[in-house]
Structure 1
Amino acid sequence: MEFENKTIVITGAAGIFGRWIAAYFAREGARLCLSDVRMDGLEKAVSELALDPSKVLLHATELTNDASMLELVDLVKREWQAPDILINNAGIYTRFSLLEMEFSDWDRVFDVNLRAPFVLTREMAKLMIADGKKGSIVNISSGAARKMTQNGVPYCTSKTAIERLSKGFAMELAEYGIRVNVVEPGFAPGSEVSELSDDYVSNMLKNIPLGRSSGPEDAPAAIAYLCSDKAAFVTGAVLSVDGGNSIGNYKRPERG
C-alpha cells in the first residue's frame, strides 16, 4: 500500500471524479481530507464508499470565499501539520454565450477553477515547506484546455490557465522538492450536478478513439502515479487520460 498513512487533501470530493479519487487512495491506506461545498455530499460519499471515519476529515469549503479556504488550510495544519498531497479537483462547467453571460458568471468560473487552486496550492505548499515535506500537488484540468467548445469559453479558458499556473508553481516550488503536475481526465457521464442526456453521451462516445468513457480507475491511477516515487523526476507535466479524445476530431468508423 504505497500511500499508507499519507495525508491527502481532495477538493470537489463529493463529485464523480472526487469520489473515484478518494476511493482509490483510501484503498491504498491514505488518510483523507475531503472538501466540497456540500457537506451532505461529503457525508454521503463517506458512507457509500465505506471509508474509515478515523482516517477521514471533512470540510465544507466555499471555493469563492477566502475565509472558507483558509479554514480548510487551518484544519489540515491543526490535524496533520501539512499534507503530503493536494489534489485540486473541484471545478465548475457553465454553458454561456460570451455575449449573454453575466460578469458574475464569468467570475465564478474563474474563482473556482483557477483562483481557488492558486490559493490552496500556495497555502498548502507553505505548510509543506514549514514541515519539511517534499509533497506532491496535482491540478485537475481537461482536454478543453486545448480545444475550445461552443458556449464553454469560460471553462476552456480557465483550464488553459490552470495548466500554465501549474507549470509556474512547478518552477517556484522545485527548490523545496515539491512537485506540481496536471491530469486531464476523460469524459465521464454520471455527474449529479450536470446531468447529460443519453443522446449526448452516445455522441460523445463516438468521438473517443478508444471507444469508452472514463472509468473509476483511469484518472485516479494517473494521479497516484504522479504522486508516487515512480514520478520523483516528474514536475510541470500534463498527462491526458482521455482515451485519445483530445488528440483531434475523430469519428468512429461504421463496421458492417
Structure 2
Amino acid sequence: MDFGKEFKGKRVVVTGAAGIMGRALVSHFAGAGADVCATDRDTQNLSGFCVAADLTKDQGLQALLDAVSEEWGAPDIVVNNAAIYPSSFLLDLEVADWDRIMSVNVRAPFVLMRGFALQMIEKGVAGTFINISSGAARKMRRTAVTYCMSKTALDRMTKGFALELAEYGIRVNCLEPGFASGSTVSELSQEHIDRVMAAIPLGTETAADDIGNAALFLASTAAKNITGTSLAVDGGNSAGTMDVYQTKKSAL
C-alpha cells in the first residue's frame, strides 16, 4: 500500500516486535519511511532503535517510556501489539497466570497509552494509538476465557482513551487480526486449522501484509476521522458463522 511520503520521519513504537505480527508491523512502518522503536523482552533479533523491556514490570514500562522520551521527545504512533495467549480452562488456571495475562494484555497498554499520551500532549503531537485486539473481544472461547476478557477490556479502554484524548487531536483505535496458523503461540493440528478455515467466509488466513497495511491505514491521514473503533481484518470471521443448518447447503 502506497502512502507516498506520509510516514517519512514519523516516530513509531511497536511493542511485541519480536513476534510474527510485531515483525510485520515494524517492517511495514519502516518500509513506509517511518523511524521505528521496536520493543520486546528479547531484542536480540531486532535491529535499529530497540528497547528491551519486560512489560509485566513497572521498571520495564518506565524504561520504554523514558527511552522514547529521551530519543524523540514523543512518538507519533504507538502500536500496542504485545500480548500473551495461554490456553487453559478456568478451573485449571492459576491465579498467577491470570495476573500475568492481564498484566501484559491490559495493564501494560494502559500504562503505555497514558505515558505516551502525556508525552504527545506536552510536545503538541496529534498522535495515534493502535491497539492490537481480537475477535475474542466479542466472542467467548473455551480454554481462552481470560484472553477473551483481556481483549474485551482493551476494546473498552480504547474507546475510553479515544474519548479523553480527542480534544488533543489524538486518535485511538483497535485493529483485530484474524486467524493465522503460523503463530508461534501454540502449535495447531491440521485438523484444527482445517476446521477454523472452513468457518471463515473468505476462506483466507490473516497474512502479515493484511495487518501491516491495515495499521498503516489507521495511522494515516486517510483515517483522520476514525477514532474509538475496531477494524476487523479477519476474512469476515467476526461477521458470523458459515454453518448451514439445512440439507441444501448453497443458494445456487
- Deviation of the 1:132 alpha carbon: 0.5
- 5 Å-filtered alignment, 1:68-79, equals 68-79=60-71
**Cα distance in 2, alignment partners of residues 189 and 118 from structure 1:** 29
Alignment partner for residue 219 of structure 2, among 227, 230, 234? 227
Q: Is contact 2:84-2:101 (8 Å) kept?
A: yes
Give how far 1:61 is off.
1.3
Take 2:165 and 2:23, find their aligned partners in 1: how far apart are those partners?
A: 28
Match of 1:52 in 2: none
- Hey, what does 1:172 align to over in structure 2? 164
Query: 1:60, CA displacement in angstroms?
Result: 1.4
Matches within 5 A, 1:1-256: 1-40=5-44, 42-43=45-46, 46=47, 56-251=48-243
Query: Please, which runs of 5 or more residues in structure 2 have no aligned partner?
Result: none
Letter in 1 for 2:11: T
- Structure 1, residues 73-107: CA drift from partner, whole Å, max 9, x if none? 10001110000000000111111111121101111
Displacement, 1:233? 1.2
- Gap regions ≥5 residues in structure 1: 47-55
Secondary structure of 2:179's match?
A: coil
TM-score (norm 1): 0.91
Deviations 1:42-71 (A, max 9, x none): 43xx4xxxxxxxxx3111111110111110
Q: Which piece of structure 1 moves more, 141-150 or 241-250?
A: 241-250
Give every structure 1 segment of 4 or more consecutive aligned residues whose post-TM-superposition deviation is greater than 4 Å: none
Q: What is the alpha-carbon distance in structure 1 between the residues aligned to residue 105 and residue 207 of structure 2? A: 23
| Amino acid in the other structure paired with 2:216 | A
Number of equivalenced pairs: 242
Tell me by how many angstroms 1:192 deviates. Answer: 2.7
State the Cα distance separating 1:145 from its structure 2 match: 0.6
Read off the aligned partner of 2:56 and give its amino acid letter. T
- Post-superposition offset of 1:111: 0.4
Matched residue type, 1:86: V
Identity over aligned pairs, percent:
50
Q: Which deviates more from structure 2 when the two are superposed, residues 200-209 or residues 146-155?
A: 200-209
- CA-based RMSD of the aligned residues comes to 1.4
Q: Distance in 1 between matches of 2:18 and 2:105?
A: 16
Whole-Å separation in 1 of the counterparts to 2:168 and 2:138: 30
Return the TM-score normalized by structure 2.
0.92
AA matched with 1:181: N
